[in-house]
Structures are given as structure tokens and as C-alpha cells.
Amino acid sequence: MKKSEVPQDKSNLESANFRELCYAVDENGEYTTENSTGWDPKTIALDNAIQDIKERIDAAKKRVEANESSPIDYYMEVNKMDLPILASYVGLWQWRVKRHFKPQVFKKLNTKILQKYADVFDITIEQLQDIDKNI
């Protein structure tokens, strides 16, 4: 794209006074960089992704409140993780982490395991055990 064609649409970047660096071709036909305030299709895609993340967090919170899942499920969503990533961060097998999603198993976890999760989520054990203390 030519330097003059770099999109300058309204986006979250513009409202935060940020610019995105893009590559464009200048009048001599050479690649150069140009700042962009945003591009509508990209803004829409990012807004949709953020909305999906919020919905996943809300669903996880409802599962925890209904005692269908442990707070680990909620904090995993809040921190935008999936099971393999969380398991690698806490240093446990995936099947063990998934098992810790069960409220009855979570309640029996020892302090050492709880502290591993709390460290990964950058919260206290108390916050890990009660999601309402984090809000």
C-alpha cells in the first residue's frame, strides 16, 4: 500500500493517543514506515475478540458461583490462558489441573498447590479461594 493510503480510521488506538506502525511504499517506490490511527475491519475484529473474552469470563464466573467449577477456571479465563498454558505455568500435568476445576477437589488442595496457582495468577490464596474478593 502507498504511504498516502495507510488507514487513519477511528479506533481505540486513537482514543488512547497511540499509533500503529505500518509499512508502506513511499513516492520513490521504497518501503518505509507510517503511523496509523487504526483500520475499521481490524477495530471490529478486536472489539469482537474482547467481547468474546468478556463472555467467557462471565460464563466461568457463573460456573464458579453455581459450584460447577472451581475458581481456577475463572482466573484462567481472566488471565486469558488455556489449560495447556496454565498447566505449564504451575508445573502440573494437564489432567491434574483439569481435576482441580472440580470444586470438591479444589477444596482439598494443600497450601503449596494453591500458592502455585496464586503465583501464576498474581493474587493471594485468599483471593484464589473467593473470586468476590478480587473484584
pLDDT at residue 7 in the model = 66
Q: How far apart are CA 42 and CA 10, in angstroms?
A: 11
Whose cell is 481505540? That residue is: 12
Instruction: State pTM to two decimals.
Output: 0.76
pLDDT in tens, the chain (135 residues): 777 777 677 766 566 677 778 888 888 888 988 888 777 888 888 889 989 999 999 999 999 999 999 999 999 999 999 999 999 999 999 999 999 999 999 999 999 999 999 999 999 999 999 988 765
Q: How far apart are CA 16 and CA 50, in angstroms?
A: 17
Q: Which residues pair with 36 in a beta bridge?
A: 20
**Which domains does the chain show, CATH number per domain?**
3-38 (no CATH), 67-129 (1.10.260.40)
pLDDT at residue 111 in the model = 96
User: Do residues 86 and 128 lie in contact, with contact meaning Cβ atoms separated by under 8 Å?
Assistant: no
